Amino acid sequence: MIAHVYPLKRMPRKCRFFDYLVPDNLTLVRGDLVTIPFRKLTVYGVVAQVSDRSARGIELKRVESHTGVTLKEDELSFFESIAYELAQSVPSILHHALPRPPKRFSPSPPTTFPRDLTIPNDEASSISRNAHELSKRRMAFVHASDLRRTTAIISKYLEMHPQQKCLVVAPTVNDVKLLERHLGRNDGSLTGEESNNERFHLWQTFRAKTHGCLVGTKLALMLVDSTISTIFVVRSGHKSHKQSDRNPRFDARLMAFGIADRFQSNLYFFDTVPRVDDVGYFSSANILPQGHTSRFMIVDKRQEQQASPHPTISYSASVEITEALEQGKTVLCVYNKKGKAQRLSCQDCKHAFVCEECQHLLKVKSQTVNCTRCSFVGPMPYSCPACKSTNIFERGYGNERVAEALVSLFNVEVSVIDKDHPEFKTSPILLVTQYYYEQYFNPFKPSTIGLVVLIDADAPLFTPTFRALEKTFQRTEEWRGLAFAHRAQFVIQTDSPELFQDFYANAQNVLEEELSQRIACDLPPKRRWMQVVYKDEESRKATLQADLLLQKIQALSLPLTVVGPVFDEKTQWHIDIGVLPEHSAILLNLFTTLDDHYIIDTNAFSC
């Protein structure tokens, strides 16, 4: 007997399985986790197939042992389909997903938390109604203003369906810890911070159960379990649901759809606002509205420009800030532009100061200029390199200058909290970036925050991505949700008040219109976009490889949209290929023949 075995190793894209003799004392089936000799090591592997043919004169190594763990047929098939969809080898996917059986392991007792989840009485009915509505649907999107409301709906659902086996997927470790503490019923958490032994024990323990609830990051989805009844994807629009910086480059949301489709699991997304993609995935009847929300004010900065005390602080916002401070409340001002200024320019020759490495505009810090693209840091220039003039002007406001303005206007202490200033300080006014929301916002704890001011709600509109509009609404709704969690007033400062007024009048219509615009422009979901990156030390070789790949793509004779190659550096380029979903398999067949010098993201624009 011969076993075709996938070794649990990072293997080249073209690699499949290796043949091993099956000892007479072993009976193996497809999906068995075994130990095998591999080069000079003993490694784990998964049996892909067992055949009764002979070795035919080839000297084969033998399977050493069976670990007692077996993947079901549909689970292994799903791993194989994931490998194909991601243009990776099956061994590499299994290596990333499966923990190894420990030699010796004494599991520590599970951590238990007293259930301290509470919800205001006026929200209880809407929480219960959403949980009941989920019970009527196999797939749905739920508007949830923050993690506390999300947790309450999931907890109510688990209470209604105690026999279900559920998986809750969150984007960050911090979210997982909050969910684990407040969910009330769970069977542990999986974030990637655990040891291999802890991860293996948790995986096997949960697989053996017929009901329960596991909380984890996107890694938990890779431990495919065909008996999962329901998957909850929390904060579904968060960029951390996509692993884009290393292989395998996968999107947890797309994988959740695949698992739900393959194993007929329920699938529920939760976030402040659906992505435009979600409007295409879920019908309008399956997008559930949120209940209570915070009071908010939309301020037209252009209309109040003459009366505003500062270019970044409108008259209406200054009045609200003054009232909140007089009442002894904390004011949270949100401004996502760090540093002192956004750029430098010469007043005499109009020279723009750019990064020497990547030609990106430099941002101004207190004593340095920084590049946000390549992380270059240099000293503050005192003269123009083009005309030698010392008439250098700082343009645009960073949060350091805005903090100075707030101190001058309101005569109180202002604390800046961002990635460069991570220490939390208690002050009457907190000037924060998105970093605060991710690291410090805890909707389960009370706060003295009485006012939240989104100083520049339009900023995400100018990011170079087709997702700029949905990111603008998502960021706005996240801070609105924070304001609601603390029962605070919410002020939106914008130069485009009509945009936000239309959104709050009928968000579904706005998102559906954006979806139709994307379809007209061949963007997702009409086309699936894949990206190929290639880097070589020799620029001539890199150029040659780009030409060869383009020839192979053109030979497919498909209605493709090809952008590039774009050379980011002398020896690195990338090509973006848009393909209709029904033709994806033909392009994937080509990608699986490429060597590992090509870095391939088969869902490049999913985040």
CA distance 186 to 216: 11
pLDDT in tens, 487-522: 999 999 999 999 999 999 999 999 999 999 999 998
Cβ atoms of residues 175 and 236 within 8 Å: no
- At 381 the pLDDT is 79
For 212-263, write each residue's pLDDT tens digit: 999 999 999 998 889 999 999 999 999 999 998 888 999 999 999 999 999 9
Give CA–CA dist 562/531, Å, rounded.
10
Instruction: Compute, in degrees rounded to 10, the torsion defined by CA atoms 448, 451, 454, 455.
Output: -110
Topology given in CATH for the domain delimited by 296-339+397-519: Rossmann fold (3.40.50)
Q: How buried is residue 469: exposed, middle or buried, by Cβ count under 10 Å (0-12/13-18/19+)?
A: buried
Q: What pLDDT shows up at residue 383? A: 79
Residue type, 602: T
B/e letters for 485-512, b = 16+ CB within 10 Å, e = fewer, are bbebbbbbbbebbebbeebbeebeebbe
What single-letter amino acid sits at 235? R
- pLDDT of 110: 61
Q: Which CATH architecture has domain 2-97?
A: 3-Layer(aba) Sandwich (3.40)
Please return the burial class of 172, using the count of CB atoms within 10 Å of its CB with bins 0-12, 13-18 and 19+: middle
The domain spans of the chain are 2-97, 124-288, 296-339+397-519, 528-601
CA distance 219 to 238: 15
Q: Which helix (H) or strand (E) holds 395?
A: strand 392-395
Calculate Rg over the CA atoms of the chain. Answer: 27
Question: What angle do helix axes 507-520 and 497-505 make, rounded to 10 degrees?
Answer: 110
pTM listed for this prediction? 0.90
Asked if 124-288 and 296-339+397-519 have one fold, the answer is yes
Confidence at residue 538, expressed as pLDDT on a 0 to 100 scale: 83
Q: Which strands form 41-51's sheet, in the order they lie side by side?
A: 18-21, 2-7, 41-51, 32-38, 65-70
Task: Return the CATH fold of 528-601.
Answer: Alpha-Beta Plaits (3.30.70)
Is the predicted pLDDT of residue 293 greater than 90, yes or no?
Answer: no
As a whole number, mean pLDDT of residues 3-7 equals: 94
pLDDT band at 450 (very low <50, low <70, confident <90, very high): very high
Q: At what angle do helices 73-85 and 90-97 cross, to 10 degrees?
A: 110
pLDDT 10s digits, 253-269: 999 999 999 999 999 99
CATH pick for 124-288 out of 3.40.50.10470, 3.10.100.10, 3.40.640.10, 3.40.50.300: 3.40.50.300
